[in-house]
Structure 1
Amino acid sequence: MTASPTITPDRVKQTTRKTYPNFKVIVLNDDFNTFQHVAACLMKYIPQMTSDRAWELTNQVHFEGQAIVWTGPQEQAELYHQQLSRAGLTMAPLEAA
């Protein structure tokens, strides 16, 4: 009796890469922060934030109740969220984009 070789199918190695989710940093409207303070905080803590964009977002916060001021990786989102919160802005919890 001879043993026949066992044939195993070739396994196709596929690696599916998943990107990390982005997170949204959202500023909420409140009754105690001034337009100037909100715009100044956005320019100070959000990278590449221009004065014009900061004022657009500040107006959005005021008239619509909230604005997404930054979207990106979780670690950076946590930092910007914390900095804006410590500066006195009213923040929504971090939210996956």
Structure 2
Amino acid sequence: TAQPRALPPLPAGRGAAVTVSAHAGIWMAPTAPGPGGGVLDRPTVVPGRDSEFDLTPAKKKKKPRNYRVILHNDDNNRREYVVQVLLKVIDGMTMDDAIQVMSEAHQYGKAVCIVCPQPDAEGYCESLRSQGLISSIEPDGGKDD
């Protein structure tokens, strides 16, 4: 029977030699002496960094910032019309919500219609304006009303 032969040892600190069975042509996995086998080397690049020389903290993915769609009071549109436009333009707005937003804008000068990602907020704002209402957007969590 053919005896397994040992290949030359790996460079220092790299584990034990790999054995080869001449009879079956099987490569044996490298093992370290003692129980438990070898230990894998640590990767040189930390996950979240571009290279081993990149010392900036790992970048976290930011959630898109939300924006408030603001309805401003005006003296040109009747309250009933404002409620109709809010129901037509703002997705998911109920009659009670529309009346509340209209009343708040009338009483305080402005009211938040909806809080949503910036592209949606811009679309709602433009739709309200196209119906003759005064609206704007601002970052959520920014300045207080």
Structure 1 unaligned segments of length 5 or more: list them. 1-7
Instruction: Name the count of aligned residue pairs.
Output: 92
Which one has a larger percent helix, Structure 1 or Structure 2? Answer: 1
Which of the residues 80, 86, 102 maps onto 1:42? 86
Structure 2 unaligned segments of length 5 or more: list them. 1-41, 49-58, 141-145
What is the 5 A alignment of 1:45-64? 45-64=89-108
Name 2:35's counterpart in structure 1. Answer: none
SS at match of 2:112: strand
Shift of 1:96: 1.3
Is structure 2 residue 138 aligned with structure 1 residue 95?
A: yes
Shift of 1:12: 2.2
Relative contact order (alpha carbons < 8 A, sep ≥ 6): 1 or 2 greater? 1
Larger Rg: 2
Structure 1: distance between partners of 2:69 and 2:97? 15
| Aligned structure 1 segments of 4 or more residues deviating by more than 2 angstroms | 8-12
State the TM-score, normalizing by the size of structure 1: 0.84
Measured against aligned partners, the alpha-carbon deviations of 1:34-78 in whole angstroms (never above 9, x if no partner) come to 110111111001001100110011100000110010111111111
